[in-house]
Amino acid sequence: MSVNPMELQQSAVVTEITRTPLTGSRKIYVESPSGSCRVPMREVTLSPTLLRGKGDTAEYEINEPLRIYDTSGPYTDATAEINLHAGLDRTQRQAWIDARADTVQLDGFSSHFTRERIAEVDDIPTFENKPLPLVAKGDANVSQMHYARQGIITPEMEYIAIRENMGVAELSQTEIAERNSMGMPAEITAEFVRVEVAEGRAVIPASINHPELEPMIIGRNFLVKINANIGNSVLTSSIEEEVEKMVWSTRWGGDTVMDLSTGKNIHETREWILRNSPVPIGTVPVYQALEKVNGIAEDLTWELFRDTLIEQAEQGVSYFTLHAGVLLRYVPMTADRLTGIVSRGGSIMAKWCLAHHKENFLYTHFEEICEIMKKYDVTFSLGDGLRPGCIADANDEAQFSELKTLGELTKIAWKHDVQVMIEGPGHVPMHKIKENMEEQIKHCHDAPFYTLGPLVTDIAPGYDHITSGIGAAQIGWYGTAMLCYVTPKEHLGLPNRDDVKTGIITYKISAHAADLAKGHPVSQMRDNAMSKARFEFRWEDQFNIGLDPDTARAYHDETLPKESAKVAHFCSMCGPKFCSMKITQEIRDEFGTGAAQVEKGVQVQKAMEEKSIEFLKQGSEIYRAPTDAA
C-alpha cells in the first residue's frame, strides 16, 4: 500500500492527539530537595465542605487538593507545547545521562537493518529528527542496577522516590505503624529505591536512548504498575493511530507501554512512539525479527536477531521480552495440553527449536545478550513462552520447568548487573494463583514478577478484562510488581480506543486494590478522599477523584441530568425524601464524634444492656403472639 506521507503526517499532528487535562485536575511539578529533578504529578482540586448555613452565611472547611501519581506526561499539561515531529523534551534526563560521562554518541546506527531502512524507506512518514544513539563507553555498564550496586543514588532513583512517596507526610502515626507492620516502609526514600534495585527486587526500565521518559520503578515494595499493549497488526491500523494509542494509554494510567506491532513499518512506528512517549516502552523483538524473515520461524538466525536487539536498543526500547526459557526439552511437555503453546513468542521459539533440533538460540546466546543489554540499560523481561492458555493447563510441568530456567537466567543476568523481571501467566484458577507467586519468588530469587492477568476462567469472551482483572488484583496483592492489561477484545479481535481505556481502568483498579491490600503508604488517601466526598455529596469531587471522571459524570447525568443535581444533597438511589447519609449526620449530631461519641455511646450501651437483660428475663414469650395470618 502506497501512502502519501504528508497526508499521514498532517493527520497525526492535527486531528489525533488527546491534549486536555483530566477534568478537575492540573499538572504540578514537585522539585527534589537537591534540585536535581522536577517530578510531575496530577493534582485534583476539591471543593470545600459545607459545615453549616446557606448562601451568604454558609461556613465551609477547605479540602486540600489530592495528589495523584501521573503517567500521562506533558500531554495533560495545558501549558506544555507538543510537537509530535520534534518529540518530547529530552533535556532533564539527558543532562543526568551526560553528567555520568559513561556514554558516547555514535555517528551512525550499529544495526544493519536500521541503516538499510534509513537508506530505503521513502513511502512512509519517518521521524525527521531521529537522534543518533548513545552507547556505553568502552566496557562501561550503564544499567541502573550497576550504579545501585556501586552505592550510587542516581537522579532516576531520587525522582522515583518522590514519585512513589507523594503525600506521605500526611500519614498519621497510627497509619505509619500499620504500614510498618505490613512490612512496608512508611516513606519511600531514594536510598530504599537504590537498595531494591541493587538487590534485584526492583527494576527501573530506562534506556539511555529514551531520555524522554519519566523514570518509574517496578518492584513489589512499590506501587503496583500496569502495562498496556499497543501495536498495529498485519491486518489493521496506522502509525499515528499507534502514537495516539500510547498517549491515550498513559492518559488513563498505563505505566509502561509494550509495542507489539507485527505488520510493516514496525521500525518507524516504534520511532514515533518512543520520541513522543513519557513512559518506558517494551517490545518482543522476535516479532520484528519474524517479519524480517517473512514470518517463517525456522529462517530466524542469531545474527539477524542480534541485529534486531541492537536496532531496538539504539532506538530506546527499555525492556525486551525474550522467551529464552523455552527449551527444546520442554516442548514435548505441551503436547498433551488442552491448548498447547499460546504465547506467540513461545511458539516461534518452539517452532525454531523443533525445525533445527537445536536449543533455543536466546538461551545459548544469553550472555551475549547481557552484553548488549548493559550497554544501553535495557531490562530483561524474561518471557513465559510456555504459560498456560486455559484453566485446564495452569501450573503444569511445562510452565514451572520454564520458570526454573528463567530463574537460572536471572542469576546470569545479575552477574552482568543487568536488570531482570520475569513474566507470568496467563490463565489460572483462583486457588492456583498463589502457587505461581510462591514458585516465582522461590526460583527467580525475588526478581520482579510481571504477569498477564491471570484470567480466572475461560468462559467469558468479551469480558476478559474482568476475568483477568480478578486474577491480577490477587496476584498483585501476593507480590506481582506489574500487571499486563487485557482488553475486552482479548481472544476475539484487536482493541479499539474504548477497549484500551476499559482495559487500563480495569487494571488500575486491580493494581490499586493490590496496593491497598499491601498497605502501600499513599494508597488509601485517594479512597478516603472519595469516601469523604461521597458522604458530603460533593458530586463533582467524586467524579474527579475517580479513575475515569468522564464516565462517572456521564452515568450520573443519565439519571439526574440537571446541573442542580450535582450540588443536591441526595442521589438517585433514595431520592430527595429519605437519605441514609443524612441519618448518619443526625447520629453525629446526637452522639457527637471522637471522645464525646465514645462517652455518650457508653451511656447508651449501658442503658441498652439493662433493657436487654430485662428483655432476656422476660424470655421471648411475649413476642410469641399467634399471627392472624393463619
Binding-site residue ranges: 229, 258, 287, 323, 343-345, 384-387, 423, 427, 450, 491, 571, 574, 579
Distance CA 234, CA 244 (A): 19
Closest CB to a copy of itself among residues 79, 174: 174
Which residue in the set 531, 567, 569, 613 belongs to the binding site for a copy of itself (CB under 8 A)?
Answer: 531
Q: At what angle do helices 497-518 and 239-252 cross, to 10 degrees?
A: 30
Backbone angles phi, psi at 103, to 5 degrees: -125, 165
Return d(Cα 489, Cα 492) in angstroms, integer.
5
Q: Which stretch binds a copy of itself (CB under 8 A): 15-23, 204-212, 440-448, 557-565?
A: 557-565
Complex with a copy of itself: residue 193 or 545, whichever CB lies closer: 545
Residue 426 in contact with a copy of itself, rule: CB under 8 A:
no
- Which phi and psi (to 5°) does residue 320 adopt? -110, 125
- 26 pairs with which residues across the strands? 43
CA distance 99 to 331: 47
| Backbone CA torsion sign across 352, 354, 358, 362 | positive
Which are the contacts of 526, defined by CB distance < 8 A and separation ≥ 6?
Answer: 66, 68, 512, 545
Sign of the CA dihedral 613, 614, 615, 616? positive
Is residue 585 near a copy of itself by the rule CB under 8 A? yes
Within residues 149-168, the interface with a copy of itself by CB under 8 A covers: none
Task: Name residues contacting a copy of itself, limited to 45-84 (CB under 8 A).
Answer: none
Interatomic CA distance for residues 414 and 408, integer angstroms: 10
Q: Which of residues 259-318 bind a copy of itself (CB under 8 A)?
A: 262, 290, 295, 297, 306, 310, 313-314
Residue whose CB is less far from a copy of itself, 78 or 338: 338
Specify the amino acid at residue 258. M
Binding to a copy of itself (CB under 8 A) within 342-401 occurs at 342-344, 346-348, 350-351, 354, 359, 364-368, 371-372, 375-376, 389-393
| C-alpha to C-alpha distances, 3 to 47, 96, 347, nearest whole angstrom | 50, 40, 33
Q: Where are the beta strands (DSSP E) in 405-462?
A: 420-424, 449-452
| Position 108 contacts a copy of itself (CB under 8 A) | no
**Contact characters 505-524, a copy of itself, x per CB under 8 A:** xx-xxx-xxx-xxxx----x
Which residues inside 21-40 make contact with a copy of itself, applying CB under 8 A? Answer: none
Query: What residues are designated binding site for Zn(2+)?
Result: 427, 491
Binding residue for a copy of itself, selected from 34, 105, 180, 233, defined by CB under 8 A: 233
Site string for a copy of itself, 212-231 (x = CB under 8 A): --------------------
CB of 581 to a copy of itself, least distance (A): 7
- Give the total of residues touching a copy of itself (CB under 8 A): 157
CA distance 477 to 242: 32
Binding residue for a copy of itself, selected from 299, 412, 435, 445, defined by CB under 8 A: 412
Q: Which amino acid is at 418?
A: V
Q: Of the listed pieces 238-246, 269-277, 317-325, 578-586, which binds a copy of itself according to CB under 8 A?
A: 578-586
Q: Report the nearest approach of a copy of itself to the CB of residue 85 (Å).
A: 28
